Structures are given as C-alpha cells and as structure tokens.
C-alpha cells in the first residue's frame, strides 16, 4: 500500500510493508518487562538486551529482510513473507541479566524485541484502557508523537464502564475506581476480564 505523504521534513517512502506474529498465552500470566522493536546497524549476530529481572518465562523476536535466524532457545513461531523474516523464541525461567545471541544467515539490518512473563495472579498491575492522541504539539518536531490518555474504569455494583471525563459524583457513587496503573486483587482481575472492559495486566514485581 502507498505510504502517506508526511509533509514534516521526512522522506516520503514509495511503498510500505508490515508483518506480525501473534502468540496467545493461556492461563493467569502477566508480562513483567518488555523492550520495543529496536533497529540496529547491519551485522550478522546480535545480543538481546539483558533482562533487568528474573522471570518465569520470556519471549524474544528478531526481524530482518533477506536473512534467516538461529538462537539458543526454543523456536515457537516463524513467519516468512517474501524477503521478510520474523522469528520468535521462548526461554523458560530466565535469570536476571539473561542475554541470548541471535545469529543471522547474512549481514543484515536487525530489529529485535522481547517480553518477560510472570505466572500467577498475585501482585497484578491493571493498566486501564487508553487512547493515543496526537499531535503532541503543533510543531514539526512533535507532530508525529502522541500522548497516552487513560480512561477511568468504574465498577458500579458489577457493571464496568470506561469513562473519559468523569464527574466527582460518578467517582463517589462507584463501587470501585481503577485509574491509570493500579495494583488489583486476583478477584478484581477476573471481574475485569469477564466484563470485557479492556486494558491490560502486568506483573508488578
């Protein structure tokens, strides 16, 4: 599909492509730490960013054009579309500082990402739904950046609603109020999931 005309000083691209891998986790699992997709200079080997904390499990991925990958852990998914390759590996109980090396079949531009996971339902951090609004400011530097605007989730006797601009009366009348990042009990996690109100859960420690 054609790339958009940016008109903010960037080069317009003649075309753009995207690919993704979806992995479904079953059970009471929250993510602990994660790194965004990071591009690097052309190379044939790359160490993943060291884990800041020990975890119950972890996933890391590598993407590059015109190359295939190998890594020391279990390959759980591989996607190949034309010249694009995206692979995902799983590691069990990685220690703090774990830093695997991914090797490509050729020197190429790497991009990597990772997420660590914590099992169980204790110390659950609930991140309420949010919108990304932009531009951040009316100038060329900030025009492409967005602000995260959280909803407030209200529980009114078992009826959950996500409210953007709530009044003091609405907050005072609610059975429970969840704002931004809040530590919740396992029963709250179950109720929020059953309500389908959105948001996400992370391990708080």
* Residue 104 CB burial class (10 angstroms; 0-12, 13-18, ≥19): buried
For residue 89, give the nearest of 98, 80, 100 by alpha carbon. Answer: 100
Residues of the chain with CATH 2.60.120: 29-119
Percent of the chain at pLDDT > 70 equals: 88
Mean pLDDT of the region 141-157: 87
- pLDDT one-digit tens code per residue, 53-76: 899 999 999 988 888 899 999 999
* Residue 87 CB burial class (10 angstroms; 0-12, 13-18, ≥19): buried
pLDDT band at 43 (very low <50, low <70, confident <90, very high): confident
- pLDDT one-digit tens code per residue, 76-100: 998 888 788 899 999 999 999 999 9
- pLDDT one-digit tens code per residue, 193-204: 999 999 888 887
pLDDT computed for residue 183 by the predictor:
86
* Low-confidence winner among 85-94, 98-107, 177-186 (lowest mean pLDDT): 177-186
pLDDT band at 5 (very low <50, low <70, confident <90, very high): low
Residue pair 126/178 in contact by the 8 Å Cβ criterion: yes
Please tell me the class of the 29-119 domain.
mainly beta
Mean pLDDT of the region 92-109: 91
Asked if residue 51 has pLDDT above 70, the reply is: yes
pLDDT computed for residue 28 by the predictor:
77
Residue 137 CA: distances (Å) to CA of 11, 72, 134, 144: 21, 44, 8, 9
Give the residue, 184 or 37, on which the prediction is more confident.
184
């Amino acid at each position: 599909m054609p790339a958009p005309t940016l008109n903010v000083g960037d080069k317009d691209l003649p075309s753009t492509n995207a690919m993704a891998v979806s992995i479904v986790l079953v059970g009471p699992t929250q993510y602990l730490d994660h790194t965004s997709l990071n591009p690097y200079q052309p190379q044939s080997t790359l160490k993943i960013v060291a884990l800041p904390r020990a975890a119950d499990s972890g996933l890391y991925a590598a993407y590059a054009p015109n190359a295939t990958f190998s890594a020391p852990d279990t390959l759980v998914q591989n996607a190949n579309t034309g010249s694009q390759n995206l692979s995902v590996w799983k590691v069990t109980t990685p220690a703090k500082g774990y830093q695997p090396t991914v090797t490509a079949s050729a020197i190429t531009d790497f991009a990597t990402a990772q997420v660590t996971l914590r099992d169980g339902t204790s110390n659950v951090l609930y991140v309420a739904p949010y919108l990304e609004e932009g531009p951040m400011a009316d100038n060329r530097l900030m025009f492409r950046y967005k602000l995260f605007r959280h909803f407030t989730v209200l529980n009114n006797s078992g009826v959950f609603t996500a409210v953007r601009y709530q009044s003091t009366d609405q907050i005072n009348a609610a059975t429970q109020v969840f704002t931004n990042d809040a530590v919740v009990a396992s029963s709250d996690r179950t109720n929020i999931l059953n309500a389908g109100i959105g948001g996400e859960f992370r391990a708080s420690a």
